[in-house]
Structure 1
Amino acid sequence: MKNSKDIKQYASYAFGAFGHDAFYATLSTYFMIFITSQLFVTKDAGFNAKMIGYVTTVMVVIRIVEIAFDPLIGGVIDNTRTRWGNFKPWLLVGSIVSSIGLIIIFTDFGGLATNSPYLYLILFAIVYIILDSFYSFKDISFWSMLPALSVESEKRTKFGTIARFGSTLGAQGVIIVIVPIVVFFSKIFSGTQGNTQTKAGWLGFAVVIGLVSFLGALATILGTKIEKNAIRENTEKVRFRDVFKVIGKNDQLMWLSLSYFLFAFSYVITNSLLIYYFNYILGSAAAFTIVGVLTAVLGIISVSLFPTLVALVHRRAIYLGGIVVMLLGYILFLFAGTNLIVVLIAVGLFFFPYPLVFLAALMTITDSVEYGQLKSGTRNESVTLAVRPLLDKLAGAFANGVVGFAAIHAGMTGSAKPSDITSSGLWQFRMYMFFIPMALMVVAALIFMARIKLSEAKHEEIVKELQKKLK
């Protein structure tokens, strides 16, 4: 009976992660493609480039400003007291509002994008602020549940692994289905033929992703149960002015945050520009679906290996070794050119370690809840776990800016064809997609190697000490 309950919880949490990361991939990666390829495609190239730059800037500024409020959102969640707990109400409300917001931004606001561009920018900013705010509540609520589901590292690893399994399928599944879904709805709503994509097709895609995100959140709400124990009950309401103190005093959390941000920023830049590589260098958008299948399969294998690898070599070796393999993928990419087979091998080397590095970072951040509890004397789950989504969103915000400017500088906007890309544009594209991310990733590895001391054994000692104190 207990095993069946555990399986239900694992499955529910995994489906929630599936919908959550499908939403995140759509917002952080593919919305920019909609902006650059569908929304601003007038005959005035100057107007198109200007509006793409404006929208990109608005998104980056809003995300950076709102990201500063994520720890406060974590404080709100930690301080919430309802009969359904503190996580699930925010997970439900956040999923509903953010899904509606996603659908709205995948429109031209009734033609305002081109007919009244400045009014469009104002309305877009308002919708994006609401969307991003409620997505933050959903994001932080979902991942903050991890330390609340169990205080045991082994069981946390299972929840973290199965959640990453779901999120990998969600994120990579978008790569597989995005072109077929957009083309399908383009045919249904716009009467197009072949592989033609339209604004209506992209809107249909956004509706599908919004629905999947909501259903995933609902599955997590109904299928998981928060654990009650003495360690978790050692929680007090945190004052908003003390939220940043809680984070700042946790030195392991701070150093890991810096390392993980540089890693995530590098990954998102390259991953976001990958579809441009297929469109404008390989000249084969249809082949991009192969990437989705490849990375989904590799993601399943990678995530499945995590518990075994943790037992054999521990998180530190996984984090650092994963970055080394990704750097090898970058190097192969530099020599791949237009050879599809070599490109796919490079994609495999680049992507395979990513879920492993993510899980190593996630589990270390999760264990830093008890590390901070031991140092401060009180437990702050959502405030601490808010840091990881904050870092991913910050990386996504900066990456969106990089992608927008990379597309403009390389000439990869509107109806441009591979033959239109100049040697200068190609060099700039390679700089954005490869050279800058490689440098950042090396720095991320050096910081982790020098500063992170919170191992699995160290966390076990901390839990024992907390249990002794609380008795």
Structure 2
Amino acid sequence: MSTSLPPLSKSRIFGYSLGDLGINLNFQMIGFYLAYFYTDVFGISPGHVAGLFLVARIWDAVNDPIMGYIADHTKSRWGRFRPYLLFMAIPLNLMLVACFFTPEISVEAKVVYAYVTYLLHGMVFTALGLPYSSIAAVMTQDQQERSVIASFRMFFAVIIGMSIIAVGVRPMVAAFSSEQTGFSLVSIIFAIASTLLIWLAFRFSQERVEVPKERYHLKDIITIIRKNDALLILGLAMILNTGVWVIGNAVALYFFKYILGDAGLQPIFFFVMIPFNLLGVILAPMLTKWIGKRQAFILGSFVVAVFALGRYFVPDSMIWLLFVVSALGTVGQMACSVTQWGMVPDTVEYGHWKTGFRSEGIPIAFFSFSQKVGMALAGAFAAYVLSLTGYVANTELTAQAAEGIRWLFNIFPGLCSVLCLLSLLFYKLTGERYEQILIDLQNNRFHPSVGK
């Protein structure tokens, strides 16, 4: 195994990270607008949406590890992971367009159509997103370089990608004759851009870390996951941290449209958040270098919890204060997102040392699954609360439905951050321990339990 590699050039990091922009033009379109599209445009009930999101994640429990195994065992002239960027970009974005297309069929048939297209989108997303994220683990083993890669990735994913979707989609959709036509055509525009950016990431990425030639078998997947306690704890933290922003982002349009009475505030809100997202990206590598990745993640979660819970008490008339409190929480949220993705590759070497099996695909598959579980649980929970409180699209809300939206936008993200913070108290893979593990692996030394 190679542990001393020349420093990564900024051009390679930059080019590889463009893939996050491409992926997030697709991913954030789904995350921000699909639930709203299904209930208010496509015309199916929140209950059906909740069921769809949960079924999709149950399937991912099978699909993600299998894809991780396939990626780990891929052999090609482009490496193990890079070919998926080349060949899966078009299928992924065709499924994005399919998700936002409204066929003229019965409501029952629409439910079936939604299940088929959303499940297929999730499968293709795994087939591209999992290998893409795995590349970071084979570009470098240097912890600080991995933090820099994570910062670049979050810059393109959130500062650029999420901001484009959050700020740009509503005005673009409004430019067309109907929301149905608007969402369909806007999805085509972003699908084309996403495909081209993913191909650029293929061009610039490079698999540099040499890995052992021996391969694990399908039966070893459970061992690779079960014995990697750092993987399990970070996966739980990722589920909870994902829940923070998924609930907040998915419910934001409902909050501004029905609670504040102005859907036009939604893109303005996310536009104002852009510099604070950028501040979080800038601060994250500084914090990880100063206090370590785990402590930076804990600090970010604390900041998010304080301001998300505090936002619930801001009066509806004080929109400026709502924006200020949200902006401060956004800095912490972005620091969490950058830090968590900087921690993910470290669990690869830890898992190799702990189990004797080298795998990038399975740990990344587990994190992919964790993130999608977080998205599904948050999305399904939001849809369930809307249904439970009597939400009916495009009508005046009852007091109960309005309060449900307030809790979804403020209280539940704050509670997710508290739980995320608590889970990280059990994460023990410090920087010093990681460096010792690299030395052990270089000398072919493993955890005492390996081979027993």
TM-score by structure 2 length?
Answer: 0.91
One of 442, 452, 457 as aligned partner of 2:418: 442
Aligned partners of 1:427 and 1:29: how far apart in 2? 21
Distance, in Å, in 1 between the alignment partners of 2:6 and 2:327 is 35
Task: Kindly provide the amino acid, as one letter, of the partner of residue 343 in structure 2.
Answer: T
Relative to structure 1, the CA distance from residue 37 to residue 124 in structure 2 (aligned partners, 3 Å threshold; closer, same or farther) is closer
The alpha-carbon deviation at position 107 of structure 1 amounts to 1.5
Q: Aligned to 1:216, what secondary structure does the other structure show? A: helix
Give, in whole Å, the separation in 1 of the partners of 2:34 and 2:108: 19
Distance in 1, Cα, partners of 2:285 & 2:237: 22
Distance 2:410 2:269 in 1: 18
Shift of 1:421: 2.1
Q: CA RMSD in A?
A: 2.1
Distance in 1, matches of 2:110 and 2:53, equals 13
* Change over 3 Å in CA distance of 1:122–1:329 after alignment to 2: same
Contact 1:78–1:238 (8 Å) recurs in 2? no
Structure 2 Cα separation of the partners of residues 72 and 119 of structure 1: 30
1:235, 1:290 → 2: CA distance?
52
**Offset, 1:70:** 0.7
Structure 2 counterpart of 1:216: 197
Where in structure 2 are the equivalents of 1:291-310 lying within 5 Å?
Answer: 291-310=269-288
Which residue does the alignment assign to 2:164?
A: 173
Whether contact under 8 Å (2:258, 2:402) holds in the other structure is: no
1:105/1:124 contact within 8 Å kept: yes
**Structure 1's 96 and 452: CA in aligned 2 closer, same or farther, altered over 3 A?**
same
The equivalent of 1:287 in structure 2 is 265
SS at match of 1:234: coil
Residue of structure 1 aligned with 2:136, choices 146, 150, 173: 146
1:460 and 2:435 matched: yes
Match of 1:383 in 2: 362
Whole-Å separation in 1 of the counterparts to 2:418 and 2:8 = 42
Q: SS of the residue aligned with 1:75? A: helix
Q: How far has the Cα of 1:33 moved from its partner?
A: 1.2
Structure 2: distance between partners of 1:421 and 1:409 = 13
CA distance in 1, matches of 2:377, 2:226: 23
**How far, CA to CA, are the matches of 1:289 and 1:28 in structure 2?**
15
Unaligned runs of 5+ in 1: 41-47, 191-196
Question: Does the 8 A contact of 1:330 with 1:434 survive in 2?
Answer: yes
Residue 257 of structure 2 aligns with an amino acid whose one-letter code is N
Q: Please report the TM-score for the alignment, with normalisation by the length of structure 1.
A: 0.88
Partner in structure 2 of residue 97 of structure 1? 91
Per-residue deviation at 1:157?
1.5
Asked if 1 retains the 8 angstrom alpha-carbon contact of 2:135 and 2:205, the reply is: no
Equivalent residue for 1:366, pick from 335, 345, 365? 345
Matching residue's letter, 1:88: R
Residue 200 of structure 1 corresponds to 181
Q: 1:88: how far off?
A: 1.7
Structure 1 pair 202/411, CA: closer, same or farther in 2 (3 Å)? farther
Please say if residues 72 and 243 of structure 1, whose CA atoms lie closer than 8 Å, have aligned partners that are also in contact: no
Among the aligned pairs, what percent are the same residue?
21
| 1:68 match | 62
Tell me the equivalent position of 2:386.
407
Match of 1:318 in 2: 296
Shift of 1:411: 5.1
- Measured after TM superposition, the shift of residue 5 of structure 1 is 7.7
Match of 2:74 in 1: 80
What is residue 25 of structure 1 aligned with on the other side?
A: 28
Q: Which residue does the alignment assign to 1:433?
A: 409
What is the match of residue 450 of structure 2?
A: none
Q: Which residue of 2 aligns with 1:227?
A: 208
Contact preservation (8 Å) 1:369, 1:379 = yes
The CA distance in 2 between the partners of 1:96 and 1:301, in whole Å, is: 33
1:431: how far off?
A: 3.2
* Cα deviation 1:274-327 (Å, max 9, x = unaligned): 121111111121121222222222122211222221121211221111111111
Corresponding residue number in structure 2 for 1:43:
none
Amino acid at match of 2:335: L
Query: How far apart, in 2, do the equivalents of 1:213 and 1:119 lie?
Result: 29
- Whether contact under 8 Å (1:325, 1:350) holds in the other structure is yes
Q: Distance in 2 between matches of 1:5 and 1:238?
A: 29
Q: CA deviation at 1:25?
A: 1.3
1:236-291 CA deviation, whole Å, 9 max, x = no partner? Answer: 32212211221111011112212321222233112211121111111121121222
Of 438-447 and 12-21, more deviation after overlay is shown by: 438-447
Instruction: Return the offset for 1:413.
Output: 4.1
Which structure has more helix as a fraction of its residues? 1
1:124 is aligned to 114
Q: Deviations over 1:337-380 (max 9, x none)?
A: 31211111122122211121122222222111111111222310
Letter in 2 for 1:63: R
1:392 is the counterpart of 2:383: no
Matched ranges for 1:237-256 at <5 A: 237-256=215-234
Distance in 2 between residues matched to 1:313 and 1:238, nearest whole Å:
36
Quote the residue 2:399 is aligned against: 423
Moved more, 312-321 or 53-62: 53-62
Kindly indicate whether the alpha-carbon contact (under 8 Å) linking 2:235 and 2:370 is maintained by their aligned counterparts in 1: yes
8 Å Cα contact 1:370-1:379 kept in structure 2: yes
Q: What is the alpha-carbon distance in structure 2 between the residues aligned to residue 426 and residue 90 of structure 1? A: 44
Quote the Cα distance in structure 1 between the aligned partners of 2:296 and 2:96.
Answer: 35
Asked whether the 8 Å contact 2:57–2:372 carries over to 1, the reply is yes
* C-alpha displacement of 1:17: 0.6
Distance 1:148 1:225, change over 3 A: same
What is aligned with 1:163?
153
Give the C-alpha shift of residue 4 in structure 1. Answer: 12
Q: Distance in 1 between matches of 2:78 and 2:340?
A: 29
Task: Return the match for 2:40 from 13, 31, 37.
Answer: 37
Note the alpha carbon deviations across 1:151-181, whole angstroms, 9 max, x for none.
Answer: 1112212111111111112112211101121
Answering whether residue 252 of structure 2 is matched by residue 274 of structure 1, we say yes
Measured in 1, the distance between the counterparts of 2:7 and 2:18 equals 16
SS at match of 1:238: coil
Q: Distance in 2 between matches of 1:246 and 1:160?
A: 24
Contact 2:386–2:404 under 8 Å retained in 1? no
Report the alpha carbon displacement of residue 87 of structure 1 after superposing the two structures with TM: 0.9
- The aligned runs of 1:46-57 (5 Å cut-off) are 49=45, 52-57=46-51
Question: For the residues of structure 1 that align with 2:382 and 2:189, how far apart are their CA atoms?
Answer: 24
